[in-house]
Chain A
Amino acid sequence: MDINKLKEIFVEEATEIIEKLDVDIINFEEDPEDKELLNELFRGVHTLKGSANSFGFSRLGEFVHHFEDALDYYRSSDEQITSNIIDVFLESVDIIKEVMEVEIEGNPDLPHQYNQCLEEIKTLLQKKDTQEEKSSPTQSDLDNEGTNNTDEVNIEHLKKELIEDESLFRITLNLDDDVYFRGFDHSKLFKLLTKEGYILESHWDMSNIPDIKKFNPETSYITSIVIYFVSKEDEASIKEIFEYLDDTEYIFEKIYTSTKEAPITIDKADIKFGRREEDKEATAVTPKKGRRKSDIHSYVKIDTNKLDELFDSIGELVIAQNFLAENKDIQIMKNENITKTINILSKTTRLIQNRVMSLRMVPINDTFEKMKRVVRDASKKVNKEISLVVEGAETEIDKTMIDSLSDPLIHIIRNSIDHGIEDNTQDREKARKSPIGQVTLRAYHKGGKIAIEINDDGRGINKDKVLEKAKERGLVAEGAELSDSQIFGLIMQPGFSTADQISDISGRGVGLDVVRTSIEKLKGKVEISSSTGKGSTFTILLPLTLAIIDGMLVKSENDTYIIPTLSVIESFIPQKKIVHTVKDKGEFVDLRGEMIPIVRLNELLESSENRPNIWESTLVCIESENGKFAILIDDLIGRQQVVIKPLGYTLSGIKEFSGSAVMGNGEIALILNVESLWGSKEGKN
């Protein structure tokens, strides 16, 4: 392996570590008791230092070295970590990011605040020297190992491990030496126990074990064991495990039941900038539990291209399997074995297809975690206290989408904090709201799509102001009638910004426009709703995956086309009386009082000049950027999940199509690009 390849791997790993540093620091600020997080931070930084130095990235190495010292100090001392120290930590991570870039580019300059930040870290460490003399060394938690009698301090310590509804039990075993004959086995007991809960500590009395020469494998020499066990189950069900034992052989005590509840109530004193996470669906599995050793999985890194190839092959497999299943010759044979085999084949193929699909899916959690930092920074910058609530972080989303989702989310969150949340607490109190602004990030499934909501409880979008501004900028014609959602849509138009003063965070009128375009690239859309005084909600709707879309299959002039179901409002065969032809303006259908223009698909695609009667054809009503319109087609075929394939350079110039899709029978159908269908019609008129 050559050095460049190694460097590539280093850069990738280092970037991952650095990203995790940010998240860990923010999480640590939320839960300063959690020393394990500090340890994790320290390990990350330590690894980074090692590899940076081995690649000759000395400036990175030097900086990280001091940062590591600081972390090392705090993880071994009891000193309170204040918000200021967290600031220094976060700043250091920023510097690390910058130095990293500088090192990769081979640029001899140091980042702007390199030295200043280094000084700050060193100041932290100087404080350490003066303090170390005062503080006495702390007692190690592991001192108790090997002792039978555990003092109260230790139990207090164990209690801290407990979470909601869990109870701490002390099980004292005094076993007879013939237990093996009664079906007892130490390891079996422990296995059964771990099914009911988890063991925090166990103390074994090994003093009776004789010399190997005298050892009798049929005798149990370990007779006294004390187990500290945590479970949510009641005593009776745990006691069932001990049915092999005599009542005299064990003592079962409940020491303590945790009353610690899920943090639902907002304790004002606990909230600082951008803190507090609440994941309703995840309360059953608390973050602490998530880090327990038994939950650690191992992972394999796979090149996404390889996944795509695999995905293509599976697609072919599905098609081949469909072909077999629908083959008339095979069906005629009526051979039970063949039918059975084909059924098994089809089941297995589906299974593999689903598995491969799920390989591409990752929880949105990592992206949401990154947003905590964004909220913290933004709220400090505009000096508004914000609490971030995260819900549904376990929702899975296509890996390729995750990467392009961060920027839009950052834009929207900053926008919500800057424009959405009221400028001062007095305004909020007047509106009978908590002085702390709340931003909610929520992900969930919605009808075969993924919805990501960014909600703020701020002042809401001022429709009149938006409309006025849009007219001023010439985005809307004077006297135009717009629906609420159309007005809110205006704020995502290029060159629109309602902020009276341009701030550092948002207000240049580029942000939301970028949001819209990048979400559209992901074949999704952004919806805005808002109510004055109560707040606004941005909802990003995305397809489950970029590789497959839910499509409406339609027929026009014997060709099959696909309309993305995401854009379809409804389809119907209109009655004659609701169809109108307006001279020089085209044809319209009156849909519950709304006049919707009709686009004849065959004419638009220049495939024929037939003009069937509209009331004998099918109309598919579409919601597009340019408003609603109805596509006239010959027939509806149905709805199907189809695998998307790009049309390639050769045919990508045809703007009516956004791609093609391989259908179940292996044939290709073209996917209509609804945005350009209506636009191109207007262009013709």
Chain B
Amino acid sequence: MNEEGKRELNQDSSRFLTFFIDDEQYGLNISHVKEIIASMNITNVPKTPDYIKGVINLRGAVIPIVDVRLKFGMDERAYDINTAIIINEIDNVSIGFIVDRVEDVLSIKHSELTEPPKFGTNVDTSFIESVAQINENVVMVLNLKKIFEQSELVDISNIEKSENDN
């Protein structure tokens, strides 16, 4: 692909890290993903909501961990070999998401992203920013900012400021 083509691709598509919870595939904008680590020992922090599983020590940094299943109102599941922690970073604040299984990185054209349908299920859909049909799968793209905000995990005003700066 020549330079021109690359730029074109960058402009009308974004790259997403996709993962599975149960049979549903979700996507996170890769620009906020710092790294993916295997499940590790999590220190429980009392007096926090259930979905905050605690904190981990990632090379000296203390990072809070959110179980996405619990955050989405699904049942807790025992961690297995596929369980992974995705470390996201917004405005120098890092948060880890526990997911069932990490899939791969997809390039999705902006034109392929559509408004999320109103689910009639018990899953909280307010975190879903958009939906894309990739081959036979539906990928639900998560709005990281909303998850952070609703979890009261970060000072949202700071994030907005930093996004305006960009």
Residues in A lying within 8 Å of B, measured CB to CB:
312-313, 315-316, 559-560, 605-607, 645-651, 654, 656-657, 660, 662, 666-670
Residues in B lying within 8 Å of A, measured CB to CB:
41, 43-48, 52, 55-57, 59-64, 93, 95, 153-155
A313 touches B46 (CB 8 A): no
B64 touches A648 (CB 8 A): yes
Alpha-carbon distance A651/B44, docked complex (angstroms): 12
Which residue of chain A has the shortest Cβ distance to B55 in the bound complex?
Answer: A668
8 A-B pairs with C-beta separation under 8 A? A313-B60, A607-B44, A645-B62, A650-B93, A650-B154, A651-B55, A654-B47, A666-B57
Contacts of A605 in B (CB 8 A): 46-47
- Distance in Å: Cβ of A610 to nearest Cβ of chain B: 14
Selected from B44, B60, B62, B154, the residue in CB contact (under 8 A) with A647 is B62
Contacts of B57 in A (CB 8 A): 645, 662, 666-668
Alpha-carbon distance A185/B44, docked complex (angstroms): 72
Sample of 11 more A-B contacts, CB < 8 Å, known A559-B46, A647-B55, A651-B45: A645-B62, A646-B62, A649-B155, A651-B48, A651-B52, A651-B55, A651-B64, A654-B46, A662-B60, A662-B62, A668-B55
- Distance in Å: Cβ of A609 to nearest Cβ of chain B: 13
Alpha-carbon distance A619/B55, docked complex (angstroms): 27
- Distance in Å: Cβ of B55 to nearest Cβ of chain A: 5
B43 touches A654 (CB 8 A): no
Contacts of B60 in A (CB 8 A): 312-313, 315-316, 645, 662
A660 touches B46 (CB 8 A): no
Contacts of A559 in B (CB 8 A): 43-44, 46
Alpha-carbon distance A605/B61, docked complex (angstroms): 24
- Distance in Å: Cβ of B10 to nearest Cβ of chain A: 32
Point out which of A656, A657, A662, A668 has the most chain B C-beta atoms below 10 A from its C-beta: A668
A670 touches B93 (CB 8 A): no
B62 touches A648 (CB 8 A): yes
B62 touches A656 (CB 8 A): no
B62 touches A668 (CB 8 A): yes
Contacts of A645 in B (CB 8 A): 57, 60-62
Which residue of chain B has the shortest Cβ distance to A560 in the bound complex?
Answer: B43
A648 touches B93 (CB 8 A): yes
A670 touches B64 (CB 8 A): no
B48 touches A660 (CB 8 A): no
Alpha-carbon distance A234/B57, docked complex (angstroms): 61
Selected from B46, B61, B155, the residue in CB contact (under 8 A) with A606 is B46
Contacts of B61 in A (CB 8 A): 312, 645
Which residue of chain B has the shortest Cβ distance to A314 in the bound complex?
Answer: B60
Contacts of B46 in A (CB 8 A): 559, 605-607, 654, 656
- Given A645-B62, A649-B93, also A668-B47 (CB < 8 A): no
Alpha-carbon distance A660/B61, docked complex (angstroms): 10
Alpha-carbon distance A316/B60, docked complex (angstroms): 6
Selected from B47, B63, B64, B154, the residue in CB contact (under 8 A) with A656 is B47
Alpha-carbon distance A656/B48, docked complex (angstroms): 11
Alpha-carbon distance A654/B63, docked complex (angstroms): 15
Alpha-carbon distance A669/B59, docked complex (angstroms): 15
Contacts of B41 in A (CB 8 A): 667
Alpha-carbon distance A312/B61, docked complex (angstroms): 8
Which residue of chain A has the shortest Cβ distance to B41 in the bound complex?
Answer: A667
Contacts of A315 in B (CB 8 A): 60
List the 10 closest pairs (A to B, CB-CB), nearest first. A605-B46, A312-B60, A668-B43, A645-B62, A650-B64, A607-B46, A650-B153, A668-B57, A660-B62, A662-B57
Contacts of B155 in A (CB 8 A): 649
Alpha-carbon distance A270/B92, docked complex (angstroms): 59
Which residue of chain B has the shortest Cβ distance to A647 in the bound complex?
Answer: B62
Which residue of chain B has the shortest Cβ distance to A653 in the bound complex?
Answer: B152
Contacts of B45 in A (CB 8 A): 651, 654, 657, 670
- Distance in Å: Cβ of A632 to nearest Cβ of chain B: 15
Which residue of chain B has the shortest Cβ distance to A607 in the bound complex?
Answer: B46
Contacts of A651 in B (CB 8 A): 45, 48, 52, 55, 64
Alpha-carbon distance A647/B94, docked complex (angstroms): 11
- Distance in Å: Cβ of A352 to nearest Cβ of chain B: 15
Alpha-carbon distance A666/B58, docked complex (angstroms): 9
Contacts of A669 in B (CB 8 A): 43
Which residue of chain B has the shortest Cβ distance to A556 in the bound complex?
Answer: B46
Contacts of B59 in A (CB 8 A): 312, 316
Alpha-carbon distance A63/B43, docked complex (angstroms): 60
- Distance in Å: Cβ of A91 to nearest Cβ of chain B: 45
- Distance in Å: Cβ of A673 to nearest Cβ of chain B: 12
Alpha-carbon distance A651/B154, docked complex (angstroms): 9
Contacts of B154 in A (CB 8 A): 649-650
B48 touches A654 (CB 8 A): yes
- Distance in Å: Cβ of B66 to nearest Cβ of chain A: 10
